[in-house]
Amino acid sequence: VMEQKITGWGLTQSEKKVIMNRITPTLEYEDFTGCDLVIECTRYTESGRRSTPLRKNIFKKLEEILEVDAIIATNGSTIIISELAADLQHKERCVSLYFPVSHPDARILEIVSGMYTSEEVYHKMEVFARLINYKPHRINESNGNVSLRMVATMLNEACQILLERVSSMEDIEETFTIIYGQRFGIFRMADIIGIERLVTLMEAMFNDFGEKHYKPNPLLWKLYRSNQLGVRTGKGFFIYDENGQPLSPNKSLYN
């Protein structure tokens, strides 16, 4: 992400070095001792399986070494925080913090309070959001929160319109950017988020809600199964150069 910003003159190499110097890598849980806030960001499994058991284990290990008033958060968008907190001794300190990735410059933080989350913890997260220049949005516990549920529905409909040959990819993108005032079209947005991630998250929402509009469209499965996963792999709905800039629509979708 930082390299893309550097390419687009949104970040300098010096600023990148400053950011990287703030990061201390570790493989030991003990190094989190003394932290006031720990955000778990476990990646979904490559098989597409939900990572709830792994996340619950991480929460338990963190509880063993953190102070009682330290906050344990997850960045999972389709993970229910109440489920992660259920087996902990101090459930009230658990919260979900989701940074929507549909727009690289989005400054909204979705703060999800679970069944056990205390008001004190929620208000601390509001302060945290403002400290990092994000606008806090209070979300009641729901798979996909707000941002992902909206993106999934719009993306599925856009895919269906394309599949039916109602309109071209370029015109669908322009409809999204010009009429709805978005910086990126829905297909470019999907490529930025990552096709594999979207398929996994949408499957999780479909399994929870049973609503057809969350079930990944066949075009998404076509990209997923051919390992054309978006910007990261150089191909998705668009074909990208080495700097992650779109070159042209991916015509193989129509074959």
pLDDT mean by block of 10 residues, the chain; 255 residues: 66 86 91 94 61 90 95 89 94 93 76 95 97 94 90 96 94 93 90 92 92 95 95 94 90 77
Question: Any residues with CB less than 8 A from the CB of 206 and at least 6 apart, and which?
Answer: 212, 214, 215, 216
Question: What is the enclosing helix (H) or strand (E) of 113?
Answer: strand 108-113
Give the model's pLDDT for residue 56. Answer: 93
Would 42 be classed as within a structural domain? yes
Do 127 and 152 fall within a single domain?
no
Q: Could you tell me the residue range of the domain that residue 38 belongs to?
A: 33-140
The residue from 99, 124, 140 where one domain ends is: 140
Give the model's pLDDT for residue 47. Answer: 47
How many folded domains does the chain comprise?
Answer: 2
Do 178 and 87 fall within a single domain?
no
Residue whose entry in the numeric block shows the structure tokens 């399994």: 207
Give the model's pLDDT for residue 128. Answer: 96
* Integer CA distances (angstroms), 117 to 111, 125, 144, 208, 219, in order: 11, 11, 18, 22, 39
Do 165 and 220 fall within a single domain?
yes
Q: Which CATH number fits the domain that encloses residue 65?
A: 3.40.50.720
Give the model's pLDDT for residue 28. Answer: 93
Nearest residue to 98 (alpha-carbon basis) of 51, 39, 152: 39
Question: Any residues with CB less than 8 A from the CB of 13 and at least 6 apart, and which?
Answer: 6
How far apart CA 183 and CA 177 sit, in angstroms, is 6
Do 42 and 59 fall within a single domain?
yes
Do 121 and 85 fall within a single domain?
yes
Do 66 and 154 fall within a single domain?
no
Do 166 and 127 fall within a single domain?
no
pTM given for the model: 0.83
Do 100 and 182 fall within a single domain?
no
Give the model's pLDDT for residue 19. Answer: 85
User: How many CB atoms are closer than 10 A to CB 211?
Assistant: 12
Give the model's pLDDT for residue 45. Answer: 54
